[in-house]
Structure 1
């Protein structure tokens, strides 16, 4: 619960003084011993803490996922395996899992989404990373349009969807191999482009390093680059940009 909610519930008599005191003591983080949950992150940044599932012990994952769900009423996990999904589902039957992206989540019913983000891939092998980005952005309240398999080896495929891409508040360009897609899109839109290199490619691609270097060295303007295969990072930044775009329009309408 946020501080204001605690105080309002205390005022209405829905919480006792001791319960309110206990809730405030858990802020700004809750110490579980093996983990310190950042329960104030949503207050500071607008988005709550997310669980990186890979590598976590089963008991730790179950406790962390459950505690964040209890705190926020929803929770998002990334890089989850099917085994971890089955573990969480044993206690939270409503959990959703996407095996392509590794996204594990419980969401508020009827969540409203606004704005527009375009997520583009060079090829279908890049979709797992793109889906991680798209679903993270959707979880954080953005409308996402997927434009997949529009790599530079067939530029006409990208140009056929250009109007859709240009309408977005920002664009995520996901590509392996030589990673040229971000540069091409950067020269065609007037919005920020978030480039995501993937580890897709043959030997000299060096598990995504070639795409990373191409994107970092792009001569197109307005491109930022996240780490190799970091769909989560791209989706988060895109959601922030989308939120700023919505806020700007709302302020213009009020004026």
Structure 2
């Protein structure tokens, strides 16, 4: 439970003042020796801790995954492998895995998703990174519109979805190769554009560096750039912007 839920339960008589006091007296992290779980992160930032699964020892991942699940009632992991999914599913049967985005999660049923984020890709090869962004944003309560395969080699495809893109509170532009999609979108919308360079491309793409440099040097205004293939970071930032957009219209 987070602080808001605790206070609501105190008001409703479901939790005593003493129990609530114990919750607020807890240290802001849980010591696991090999990890320090940031149990107060959601209270501070509005987002619970997310697990970066790649490279974690199996037992560490099982323990961390389960501990966050018990604390929050749901849990999100990124860059998970099929093997890690099989291991976690043995302990938590409700675990869901998407092999495209490599997102692994247990999510609350009936979650309300608000606002609008447009996640756009230049090509279909960029979809794994885009899905990491989209599913991260959805996990954190944002409504996502997917606009895929609208790269600059065929601008008519992008223009056909322009109304959906322009109505969003935030736009995520995912592109490899030369990374021009972010600049095009930046000149067409009045909302922030989060550019995500991907490592998709031939040799001179330099595993995403060429797209990264194009996006950083964009002549269009209102573009922020995250790291190469960092769909999670884009989805997180897009959710922050979307939440502000929702609040502004309340």
**TM-score normalised by length of structure 1:** 0.92
Indicate conservation of the 8 Å contact 1:121/1:147, yes or no: yes
Indicate conservation of the 8 Å contact 2:126/2:174, yes or no: yes
User: How far 1:155 sits from its partner (Å)?
Assistant: 0.9
Match of 1:253 in 2: none
CA spacing shift, 1:227–1:74, aligned 2, 3 Å: same
Match of 2:170 in 1: 170
Indicate conservation of the 8 Å contact 1:7/1:20, yes or no: no
Match of 1:109 in 2: 109
Indicate conservation of the 8 Å contact 1:166/1:189, yes or no: yes
1:125 matched to 2:125? The reply is yes
Match of 1:182 in 2: 182
Q: Report the count of equivalent residues.
A: 249
Write out aligned runs for 1:3-152 (5 A).
Answer: 3=3, 5-6=5-6, 12=13, 21=22, 23-24=23-24, 26-152=26-152
Quote the RMSD (CA, aligned, Å).
1.9
Once residues 3 and 114 of structure 1 are traced to their aligned partners in structure 2, the CA distance between those partners, rounded to angstroms, is 22
Once residues 17 and 244 of structure 2 are traced to their aligned partners in structure 1, the CA distance between those partners, rounded to angstroms, is 38
Once residues 195 and 9 of structure 2 are traced to their aligned partners in structure 1, the CA distance between those partners, rounded to angstroms, is 44
Structure 1 residues 15-39: Cα deviation after superposition (integer angstroms, max 9, x where no partner)? 7958964x45543111111100111
Matched position secondary structure for 2:242: helix
Q: Which runs of 5+ in 1 are unaligned?
A: 251-255
User: How far 1:2 sits from its partner (Å)?
Assistant: 2.9
Indicate conservation of the 8 Å contact 1:54/1:79, yes or no: yes
Indicate conservation of the 8 Å contact 2:6/2:15, yes or no: no
Indicate conservation of the 8 Å contact 2:116/2:145, yes or no: yes
Indicate conservation of the 8 Å contact 2:179/2:211, yes or no: yes
Write out aligned runs for 1:199-238 (5 A).
Answer: 199-238=199-238
Indicate conservation of the 8 Å contact 1:171/1:194, yes or no: yes
CA spacing shift, 1:16–1:114, aligned 2, 3 Å: closer
CA spacing shift, 1:15–1:89, aligned 2, 3 Å: farther
Match of 1:248 in 2: 248
Structure 1 residues 42-98: Cα deviation after superposition (integer angstroms, max 9, x where no partner)? 111111110000000000000001000000000100000011111110011111110
User: How far 1:10 sits from its partner (Å)?
Assistant: 7.2
Once residues 192 and 18 of structure 1 are traced to their aligned partners in structure 2, the CA distance between those partners, rounded to angstroms, is 43
